[in-house]
């Protein structure tokens, strides 16, 4: 069997197993079973990390151990009209026009293709390789908790190939660090006066995308668009009250849709609806190049007996307005590289509290502290409470890496051209692994995947054999 076809077949098998972040029990069990069926020694730790030990092929017994690393979980995003259940349903993989995608859901090529590449190298009898440690971590997408829990003694190898990058022909040797902040704001309930109606607004059709890879694309945040509408409405109707607001999903996905419901005097309903629709037309013009599908829908219904007060709505709107989102600074060292950013990832109301989740990134530790402190200050000024986690460290590049030199030479030999060496703004587990094991030599690469963390996610088929054959050559070079 052709090595690239083996990769695709393994990926399709992985896609049959539910593997939403923090719900990786089924995929971890599947990986363990597959390893045993291939006769590999395998371990599954308390964090659900799976490590397979693959013996060297003849002639490679004295070569250094190579770690092939990816993560088992995926960001689960779907279109509003999709009925897909990520807890039970397999991903429907579709291949057409040179691309692989899913049916109205994210594909999970991030990082299912990386795991499939690693398994293909181990399982193909024609691939020559040193002893391999296949490390498949858990919960990479919502906190890198698998990599955080990893113990240095679990790995013998000191050469790591991270298979979680998304541009063929690019070798990544550094990444940003990151941190998440959860903020809450108390919202007081009040009685809704007579002669009020509910106006609901839904913003959708945005592209969204990966908050590390695509935060610099100028794409709209549905949460921020809803905030602008709320602010305009309060300017023409200062007695509006809030029923609900929600939007966004994963911490590393730019919000694609959001909605809110307010109650206003019946005499103001037409003005409020017209205001919202006018803002929808503004958004269509503003984001014609980046989010051509942006749509706005309004609905009018009866008012409930209770809603959150006018004051609560104002405090909420002000907080969302000043809350940082998007690129905060560009790198002064690497042209075109985002240095610091924030993604206002989700908003919802739980138990009469506004709950916000944001994800901050920076390649400079002090700048990561600064943007996090700014967010916490905004929340405090609004009367809320912000709690930030410890996050994960950046991966500082090693330009003189022996592994990088070998990767470059192998790539040039196979393809007759120079690969691109870069540093990315997205987070990779290499930062955590390198922080635990200082002498680990690491490079990240992978096939081309476009719009991860969204239903638009797709993988370019032609790049899968390119990466697979490069990896075969690289492993063979250690003889």
- Domain ranges, ordered by start, for the chain: 3-175+394-476, 179-388
C-alpha to C-alpha distances, 471 to 54, 66, 287, 393, 428, nearest whole angstrom: 16, 11, 40, 27, 19
Question: Angle 173-178-181 (CA atoms, 0-180°, nearest 5)?
Answer: 170
Residue 384 has a pLDDT of 98
What fold does the segment set 179-388 form as a domain? Alpha-Beta Plaits (3.30.70)
Nearest to 292 by CA among 230, 216, 218: 218
Report the chain's mean pLDDT, rounded to a whole number: 96
**Segments of the chain with pLDDT less than 50:** none
By the 8 A CB rule, do 295 and 204 touch? yes
Phi-psi bin for 52: left (phi > 0), alpha (psi -120 to 50), beta?
beta
Concerning whether 402 is annotated as a catalytic residue, the answer is no
pLDDT at position 437: 95
Strand intervals (E) in 270-419 = 295-302, 306-308, 326-330, 338-350, 353-362, 385-388
Parallel, antiparallel or unpaired: strands 50-54 and 132-137: antiparallel
Catalytic residue among 24, 73, 342, 441: 73
Catalytic residue among 24, 111, 133, 140: 140
- C-alpha pair distances (Å), 201 with each of 222, 261, 350: 11, 6, 19
Q: b vs e for 390-429, b when ≥16 Cβ sit within 10 Å of the residue's Cβ?
A: ebbbbbebbeebebbebbbebbeeeeeeebebbbbbbbbb
Pairing state between β 99-102 and 93-96: antiparallel
CA 10 to chain centre: 22
pLDDT at res. 143: 82
User: What is the CATH number that goes with domain 3-175+394-476?
Assistant: 3.40.630.10
pTM across the whole model: 0.82
73 is known as an active-site residue: yes
- For residue 185, the model assigns a pLDDT of 98
In the prediction, which pLDDT does 299 show? Answer: 98
């Amino acid at each position: 069997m052709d090595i690239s076809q083996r990769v695709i077949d393994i990926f399709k098998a992985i896609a049959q197993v539910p593997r939403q972040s923090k719900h990786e029990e089924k995929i971890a069990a599947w990986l363990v079973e597959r390893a045993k069926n291939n006769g590999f020694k395998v371990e599954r730790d308390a964090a659900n990390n799976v490590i397979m030990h693959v013996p060297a092929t003849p002639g490679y017994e004295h070569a250094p151990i190579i770690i092939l690393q990816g993560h088992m979980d995926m960001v689960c995003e779907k279109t509003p009209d999709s009925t897909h259940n990520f807890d039970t349903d397999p991903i429907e993989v579709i291949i057409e026009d040179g691309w692989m995608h899913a049916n109205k859901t994210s594909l999970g090529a991030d990082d299912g293709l990386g795991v499939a590449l690693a398994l293909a190298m181990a399982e193909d009898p024609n691939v020559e390789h040193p002893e391999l440690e296949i490390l498949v971590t858990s919960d990479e997408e919502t906190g890198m908790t698998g990599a955080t829990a990893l113990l240095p003694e679990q790995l013998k190898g000191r050469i790591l190939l991270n298979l979680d990058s998304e541009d063929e022909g690019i070798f990544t040797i550094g990444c940003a660090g990151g941190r998440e902040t959860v903020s809450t704001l108390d919202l007081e309930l009040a009685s809704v006066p007579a002669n009020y109606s509910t106006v609901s607004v839904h913003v959708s059709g945005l592209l969204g995308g990966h908050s590390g890879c695509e935060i610099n694309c100028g794409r709209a945040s549905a949460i921020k668009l809803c905030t602008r509408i709320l602010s305009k409405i309060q300017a023409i109707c200062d007695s509006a009250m809030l029923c609900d607001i929600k939007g966004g999903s994963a911490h590393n996905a730019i919000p694609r849709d959001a909605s809110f419901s307010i109650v206003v005097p019946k005499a103001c309903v037409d003005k409020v609806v017209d205001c919202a629709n006018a803002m929808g037309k503004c958004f269509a013009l503003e984001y014609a190049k980046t989010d051509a599908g942006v749509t706005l829908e309004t609905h009018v219904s009866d008012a409930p007996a209770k809603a959150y007060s006018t004051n609560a709505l104002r405090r909420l709107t002000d907080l969302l307005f000043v809350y940082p989102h998007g690129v905060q600074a560009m790198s002064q060292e690497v042209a075109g590289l985002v240095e610091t950013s924030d993604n206002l990832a989700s908003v919802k109301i739980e138990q009469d509290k506004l709950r916000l989740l944001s994800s901050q990134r920076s390649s400079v530790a002090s700048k990561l502290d600064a943007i996090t402190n700014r967010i916490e200050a905004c929340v405090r000024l609004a009367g809320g409470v912000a709690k930030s986690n410890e996050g994960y460290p950046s991966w500082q590049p090693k330009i003189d890496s022996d592994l990088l030199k070998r990767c470059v030479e192998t790539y040039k030999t196979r393809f007759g051209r120079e690969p691109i060496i870069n540093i990315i703004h997205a987070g990779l587990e290499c930062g955590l692994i390198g922080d635990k094991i200082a002498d680990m030599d690491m490079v990240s690469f992978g096939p081309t995947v476009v719009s991860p963390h969204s239903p638009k996610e797709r993988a370019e088929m032609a790049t899968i054999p390119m990466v697979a054959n490069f990896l075969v050559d690289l492993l063979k070079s250690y003889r």
